[in-house]
Structure 1
Amino acid sequence: MTNTPQQDNAASAYMAAVDLGSNSFHMVIARIVQGDIQLLHREKQKVQLAEGLNDDLVLSEEAIERGLTVLRQFADTLQPFAPQSVRVIATYTLRRAKNAATFLRRAKTLFPFPIEVISGQEEARFIYQGVAHFEHFDGKRLVMDIGGGSTEFAIGEGSQPLRLASRNMGCVSYAKTHFGAGKISSRRFQRAIVQAEQELEPIVSSFRASGWQQAVGTSGTIKTIRDIVVGLGWSQGALELTQLLQLKDYLQKFDSCDELQLTGLTEDRKLLICSGLSILIAAFQMLQIEQLVYVDAALREGVLYEMTDRLQHLDIREQSIQSLVQRYAIDQAQAERVKQTALQLLAQVKDSWQLTDEAALLLGFAATVYEIGLQINSSGVQKHSAYILQNANLPGFNQEQQQLLACLVRFHRRKIRADEIPYFSLYELPLVMNLLVLLRLAVLLNQKRRDEFLPDLQASARVQSLQLQLPLSWLQQQTVLAADLQQEQKSLKKIAFKLDIPALQDLNDAQLNQDAV
């Protein structure tokens, strides 16, 4: 498909999904036509980021440059697109690389769209959604995707994923480890298969127990193996273990991948075929897969469908937050008080601080779950809450969104440790601090946990400052709260933020006058 937005002037909503994979970078451009997605244009560039990841999980300069070069090309294609119409997802290599922040910082200078690094489980969920929307199936299905650095598994029914897993084994990383320089031998195959089986061991029992009626493979690796097997006349399309083992025996007749000349095997896949086949054989044997069919849909299609859901205000992140509320028995009445106060303040300072609807959504999520750690202990609740949010499986959230929630909740009370606030590529530090101030104030003002307790709140803001108007007569009756607000002023001053509360100053002046008398 070669249509581009410049070539097609039809009145349609264009969107794009970009997948920064460990082997290749992919881009898909689509439009919404009568509520459905119509794919218009695809681009794929071989990058092999995972090849540049060393044993210390540091990404090489050469790999970084390869990735940035492709992003420059993608940026040119995506030039007409609005930011909200493009979603960019990064997977295994950038979630594992210790210097991923370096890549993301440099990418920002030449690629105008935010890059979201997602967890392995989130990657598996997107892949499942791509398959589920692409091809309907009645019953449970197992979906498998072999990537450059990791392999994702999902079991689901209809559009609902039921079990998700990501394992650290991919065709690029295994090629580097087991088939260096493209060398082939039975011993190399055996080592690769055994390592993949060891990697799969933790998920075998739970996946087998779930069961499925259809097994589906996605990604270039599985497509290549399918095409080779069909080209050799061993299958009409579906893959079975006997064919995979037969292909392994066939490949072992050669000393090097460079010697391979097979229908369906492109030059860029030659060095990856043995590693990908080893992983697939291990999966068939460990999960007892009888037959696997290939489906031409994967992560980027799943991303596109989720983008359409968000356009229709069906945000899976809201379901994830509500799941936490139920699981950890959060005091929903108090959470709602804090959320409403935080959003009320945000609405009044939104323009001054240039806060987006997405910022408001994330602040609301943080306010909803700030007390999640009470399930562990009321002492140090902020630390317990942050720990849960950092480590929970939260479908719909990328790694930085989840990290931001944890950060806001971690410092919603007590001392703010600026040196412990992580680096964000998606969020500027002033935004993080502004949201943190709003959450802290909302929690503080609702400390009595009572409805209809607060007076009308009026707030205005400037850079690194917020003025909060409170009725003096009301504040005079809240001596504990007044003292806490004074302490909050001191806490925020330490991070160079000014909290101005005129009524508090009036209260202090009145107290001084009274003492003087």
Structure 2
Amino acid sequence: MLTNTLENKALADDELMAAIDIGSNSFHLAIARLDHGEVRKVVSLSEKVQLAAGLDEHNILGAAAERRGLDCLSRFVARLDSVAPERIRVVATNALRQAKNADDFIKRANEILPKPIEVIAGREEARLIYLGVSHTNASSDKRLVIDIGGGSTEFIIGQSFDPILTESLQMGCVAFTQQFFADGQITASDFDKAIAAARKKLLVINGRYQKTGWSSVVGSSGTIKAVRNVLVSKGWADEQERITYQGVKNLKKLLIDIAHVDDIELEGVKEHRQSVFPAGVAVLLAIMEVFGIENIIYSDGALREGVMYDMLGRFTSEDVRERSVQALVKRYSVDKRQAKQVVSTSHRLFEQVQAPLGLTNDDADLLRWAAFLHEMGLAISHSSYHRHSAYLLEHSDIPGFSHIDQKRMAQLMLNHRHKLKADMLEQTHLIGGDQLVYLCLLLRLAVLTHHSRSEYGAPTLQLNITDTNSWQLTVVKHSEHYAFLLQDLYAAVEQFAKWGVKLSIIPTQEK
């Protein structure tokens, strides 16, 4: 069974936690306290940054947009003094998924933030949005949840707290503003072009979603909130203050009559949203037309609430990452017995060197997951299976994991066998620093220990660190079966040296 190293760090009632959502249109900060298992927001801030508007035709993030983002994060950080860093998560969505120079922004932002940014995949964003909606609007209905963001729109069908179907499409209010309403003019022709473009994207997923079905529709995000507020103020919502298809059609006509974004003065549309509002309405109208939606309930809970509930799960036995790893083990028919042996040995080695190498509980989790999954590539081919494992880990949608976590695990896969190369050391260090280098070497030792796939018990290993670049491994050779292990370990000495670590092997006889 997988063990979460954070289980002993559960939040107490009234303890604070926080989430920062680096969106394509706006940045959001939410600070909440735990109240009898429920997340209660005590601070909620939002700033229009429009990172997506700062992307040029080559998806390069401009200096002005980067500066707006960094300045906003600096203001958010000033509000986080009372929140412990381990209770904070920072997630980034479509704009940083698309930006080719995202690493530059992330590096500068991480110098400001108490926790590093996690760039999450579109389907992971969808999962977290559903988690936020389902905790905010409890229901046993099978629901379709829609979240129109600045750069992408997420679609989730789920029931209770469990998502069934998730998807993220490249259409959002900022991106569509740049494509169809860039000059600020609002015309029937512009609307028709935007709706047609959205319909084309929606038709790709419509069949699967209609087949799965739903009984109610919930919308989250600033766009849907603004639409709902306008419809309520105009009397175009229904008696339950739900967004209606006819109401959105009325709103489209009203915007065309207004003719320019600078003249949008509608109750419920904040000034910072005026410029992207027509594009958001066009996307919403296309969704309602293609999916045949008559009304939508608005939910105040969305991504940042989902991030906090997901973080809450990480402090208990409900960490979705653990379930994801077990699902991958099953999907790729990983040899569970072998995996558990490698997990056990890697854990023992980790405990022996955690303090001198400055490793964290997060590092322990990463090593454990990689140990479970290091042979998943065998499902494709035995030849270079470590490369197949790395590719699958880096490029799959894995619930609970950020892009950087998947990249780090991929590096562990790539370097757990065969020759270690200098260029791989540089790449590994760039992705995860010294800690990831050490994890690669620990996994390598654990895999070597069980190279023979023997049914006999593992030898007793004692790893000592005289300094970070000098490791001493004592092997208690209690069976002749482990003569081959010693040969493998002696061969590893040369490989470790290529990464600047002097490995000494000390065999001893069992007393």
TM-score (norm 1): 0.92
Structure 1: tracts of 5 or more residues without a match: 1-9, 507-517
Following superposition, the deviation at residue 465 of structure 1 comes to 3.0
Instruction: Supply the AA of the counterpart residue of 2:231.
Output: V
Matched, 1:286 2:287: no
Q: Hey, what does 1:249 align to over in structure 2? A: 253
Matched residues in 2 for 1:303 and 1:11: separation?
Answer: 18
* Counterpart among 360, 364, 371 of residue 360 in structure 1: 364
| C-alpha contact (below 8 Å) 1:184/1:256 kept by paired residues | yes
Instruction: Supply the AA of the counterpart residue of 1:442.
Output: A
Instruction: Supply the AA of the counterpart residue of 1:22.
Output: S
Q: Hey, what does 1:471 align to over in structure 2? A: 476
Instruction: Pick closer, same or farther for the CA change 1:458–1:421 going to 2, 3 Å.
Output: closer
* Counterpart among 393, 399, 404 of residue 395 in structure 1: 399
Matched, 1:148 2:134: no
| C-alpha contact (below 8 Å) 1:105/1:425 kept by paired residues | no
Following superposition, the deviation at residue 292 of structure 1 comes to 0.9
Instruction: Supply the AA of the counterpart residue of 1:264.
Output: G
Instruction: Supply the AA of the counterpart residue of 2:337.
Output: A
| C-alpha contact (below 8 Å) 1:104/1:425 kept by paired residues | no
1:391-436 CA distance string (max 9 Å, x none): 2221111111111111111221112345356868996421111000
| 1:368-383 alignment, distance < 5 Å | 368-383=372-387
| C-alpha contact (below 8 Å) 1:101/1:425 kept by paired residues | no
Instruction: Supply the AA of the counterpart residue of 2:111.
Output: T
Following superposition, the deviation at residue 471 of structure 1 comes to 3.0
1:68-110 CA distance string (max 9 Å, x none): 0011111111123211111111111111111111011111222
| C-alpha contact (below 8 Å) 1:469/1:502 kept by paired residues | yes
| 1:295-314 alignment, distance < 5 Å | 295-314=299-318
| Bigger shift: residues 339-348 or 131-140 | 131-140
Instruction: Supply the AA of the counterpart residue of 2:276.
Output: L
| Bigger shift: residues 62-71 or 230-239 | 230-239
Instruction: Supply the AA of the counterpart residue of 1:402.
Output: Q
| C-alpha contact (below 8 Å) 1:175/1:275 kept by paired residues | yes
Q: Hey, what does 1:67 align to over in structure 2? A: 69
Following superposition, the deviation at residue 503 of structure 1 comes to 2.9
Matched, 1:229 2:231: yes
Q: Hey, what does 2:101 align to over in structure 1? A: 99
Following superposition, the deviation at residue 11 of structure 1 comes to 7.1
SS in structure 1 opposite 2:293? Answer: coil
Following superposition, the deviation at residue 492 of structure 1 comes to 1.7
| C-alpha contact (below 8 Å) 1:51/1:172 kept by paired residues | yes
Q: Hey, what does 1:430 align to over in structure 2? A: 434
| C-alpha contact (below 8 Å) 2:325/2:369 kept by paired residues | yes
* Counterpart among 339, 345, 367 of residue 341 in structure 1: 345
| C-alpha contact (below 8 Å) 1:467/1:501 kept by paired residues | yes
Identity of aligned residues (%): 40
Structure 2: tracts of 5 or more residues without a match: 1-11
| C-alpha contact (below 8 Å) 1:52/1:63 kept by paired residues | yes
Q: Hey, what does 2:211 align to over in structure 1? A: 209
Q: Hey, what does 2:7 align to over in structure 1? A: none
TM-score (norm 2): 0.93
Instruction: Supply the AA of the counterpart residue of 1:110.
Output: I
Q: Hey, what does 2:131 align to over in structure 1? A: 129
| 1:243-282 alignment, distance < 5 Å | 243-282=247-286
1:445-499 CA distance string (max 9 Å, x none): 101112443221111123133211013675x764433332222111121121222
